[in-house]
Amino acid sequence: MIAGMAVSLEECRQKLEVQGFLVLPGVFDAAEADGIRTGLQTAFAAQPQATAIRAQGGSLYAARNVLSLWPETATVWRRAPLLEFVRAILGEQAGLVRGLYFDKPPERTWALPWHKDLTIAVKDNRLAGRSFNKPTTKAGVPHVEAPLEVLQNMLTARIHLDDVTEENGPLRVIPGSHRFGKVMPPGDVSPVSILVSTGDVLVMQPLLAHASNHSQPGTVRHRRILHLEFAGAPLPDGYEWHDFHAVAPTSDVLE
């Protein structure tokens, strides 16, 4: 069994393999989620001109380079059952490689079209080789589209810092779409809205097709998320992760 859950690790592994996602409920309690929100907001306020923070009309709605902006990101996620699950799926060589932050402020909502997460942050995106392509620079950090085998050995964990309902523009996913690789699936599969409580963690494959709608008019709800990406191995072809924080052993789980 996974610590704190009524299902086995194998059941969770099978669900992830079939659907491409699952929700780990209640990983963080309300006080812990509030502590993460406060830590992030304090870090962002201390660096208002940081290029990693994208603001519109005074409302912060996304940030890159969160591992640098708020270094506690590298450790705050280490809670059962999340740490246990990441280690079980990605293995002993796993590490945290990127952190992002998203919000949908009630007065500045936004939406995203259907897509898959194909881009990773690396130290140098100018290296030769055909495995990596489409180099870009985002908030001063080199990025590149990763090869399929790298993306298949990654996991994304989205720590929800607010309750998510249909009212505040939840993430929508297409179950099983990760099995189509980088290609979007046929349009005959109905999407699922990820409705969760504060402190729940959505674990998903980067190759899972996902999107989100605008929040509903008149809502007062935020939709704040700490988005973490994990990888199971070093990169091939001489490439290196821009950041790599090794996953701690089980004995380091914080209850």
Report pLDDT digits (tens) over 122-174: 999 999 877 899 999 998 999 999 999 999 999 999 999 999 999 999 999 99
What's the confidence (pLDDT) of residue 251? 52
Q: Determine the residue type at 216.
A: Q
What's the confidence (pLDDT) of residue 108? 84
Q: Establish if 5 belongs to a structural domain.
A: no
Strand partners, 161: none
Query: How far is it, in rounded angstroms, from Cα 190 to Cα 176?
Result: 11
Structure tokens at 197: 């409580």
| Structural domain that includes position 239 | 20-248
Interval 214-228: pLDDT, tens = 999 999 999 999 999
What's the confidence (pLDDT) of residue 189? 81
Q: What is the CATH number of the domain that holds 178?
A: 2.60.120.620
Do residues 150 and 236 make contact, with C-beta atoms less than 8 angstroms apart? yes
What's the confidence (pLDDT) of residue 219? 93
Q: Establish if 6 belongs to a structural domain.
A: no
Is the peptide bond prior to 170 cis by the omega test (within 30 degrees of 0)? no
Q: Establish if 4 belongs to a structural domain.
A: no
First-to-last CA distance in the chain? 16
Q: Determine the residue type at 89.
A: I
Q: Establish if 7 belongs to a structural domain.
A: no
Q: Which residues of the chain have pLDDT under 50?
A: 1
Q: How many domains does the chain have?
A: 1
Q: Establish if 221 belongs to a structural domain.
A: yes
Query: How far is it, in rounded angstroms, from Cα 119 to Cα 137?
Result: 11
Full-model pTM: 0.93
Q: Establish if 9 belongs to a structural domain.
A: no
Q: Establish if 84 belongs to a structural domain.
A: yes
Query: How far is it, in rounded angstroms, from Cα 33 to Cα 31?
Result: 5
